[in-house]
Amino acid sequence: MTLPDKNAANSRRLNEILRSITRLRPLPTSTNRILRALDEPNTTAGFLADLIALDQALTAYTLRVANSAALGYAVSCASIKDAVMRLGFRQVRSLVISTVASGPLSSRLSGYRLGDKELWNHSVSVASAAHWLAGSIRYPDPEKAYVAGLLHDIGKLVLDQYVFADYNEMVNIMQTNQLTLWQVEQQLFGVDHAAVGGLITSHWQFPEELVDAIRYHHAPSLSQPYKRLAAIVNLANALLPAENSSSQNFALEGRIIHPDTLQILNIQEHLLESLQNRLIDAMFVYDARKPAA
């Protein structure tokens, strides 16, 4: 009897994972139209408002955020065009991506032992923390950090079924070799959820910087041109208060700051605790822009 070749089985599985990404449905046409319009230099707030008005959930969400007193907007705006002008194109982009991502990210991930909406809540928390951190270190586009944080673990949606099948082996390897979840994914599947997330967002033709930040959110120094965005997501993921993350869960990536993250972001280690305290204080403001799942 010939024993099954583990390497062959692993490479078959890797090919299967990669093929399943290319078969993923594209973003809805309406979402793509808005994202494309946001990239066009000549797009007006009125034109964007017309596109947004075609989507009921996005319209309601845009108006809610634009009228949120908690975000400092005292005078309410009634039209979508006013809301777009108040929020700015960058924040509108975050709202569009949040609306389209909320469905898939809210699903239960049995492999990762994540219940309904658990990944969604974690994603929104990391997005908010990344936005705040980006602002506090003067990263030029905090909204980009928000989107990177929101989508950072999206690769788990694809890997979940494989994690489900290999759960016991994964826990065993993690405990025996003191490895993190993503390191074990690499060992068993030849790819981790961060790399898969990079492939998914690249499949959706998201900007390279965003794709790269998602791909390297556990190893920001590997991102050649865009280390800062990847490092912001890495730090946001690690500094979140325990109640805002799936801390007791198998899926927890360990609140581990990558050894290069602080250097990339030019943050002194002794200031980390006060940074974390300020971040925790700031998080309540983000409840006002939390998308409905």
Instruction: Give yes or no for residue 118 binding Fe ion (CB under 5 A).
Output: no
Q: Footprint of Fe ion on residues 120-159 (CB under 5 A)?
A: 153
CB of 120 to Fe ion, least distance (A): 12
How many Å apart are CA 2 and CA 19, to the nearest integer?
Answer: 28
Instruction: Give yes or no for residue 192 binding Fe ion (CB under 5 A).
Output: no
The one among 227, 253, 261, 265 contacting Fe ion by CB under 5 A: 253
Instruction: Give yes or no for residue 160 binding Fe ion (CB under 5 A).
Output: no
The DSSP call for residue 240 is S
Instruction: Give yes or no for residue 99 binding Fe ion (CB under 5 A).
Output: no
Per-residue tokens: 67: 């009228």
How many Å apart are CA 97 and CA 177, to the nearest integer?
Answer: 38
CB of 224 to Fe ion, least distance (A): 20
259: number of Cβ within 10 Å: 9
SS3 64: helix
Is 203 exposed, middle or buried (CB count within 10 Å of its CB: 0-12, 13-18, 19+)? middle
- Of 84 and 196, nearer to Fe ion (C-beta) is 196
The one among 67, 237, 246, 261 contacting Fe ion by CB under 5 A: 237
Instruction: Give yes or no for residue 183 binding Fe ion (CB under 5 A).
Output: no
- Of 143 and 153, nearer to Fe ion (C-beta) is 153
Report the residue number whose CB is nearest to Fe ion. 153
- Of 144 and 218, nearer to Fe ion (C-beta) is 218
216: number of Cβ within 10 Å: 24
Per-residue tokens: 174: 């993690």
Name the residue with tokens 């994914």. 185
Per-residue tokens: 1: 């009897």
| H/E element, 225 | none
- Of 61 and 189, nearer to Fe ion (C-beta) is 189
By CB under 5 A, which span of 6-14, 20-28, 234-242, 284-292 interacts with Fe ion?
234-242
| Residue 116 CA, distance from chain mean position | 17
CB of 291 to Fe ion, least distance (A): 17
Per rule CB under 5 A, count of chain residues that contact Fe ion: 3
Residue ranges in contact with Fe ion by CB under 5 A: 153, 237, 253
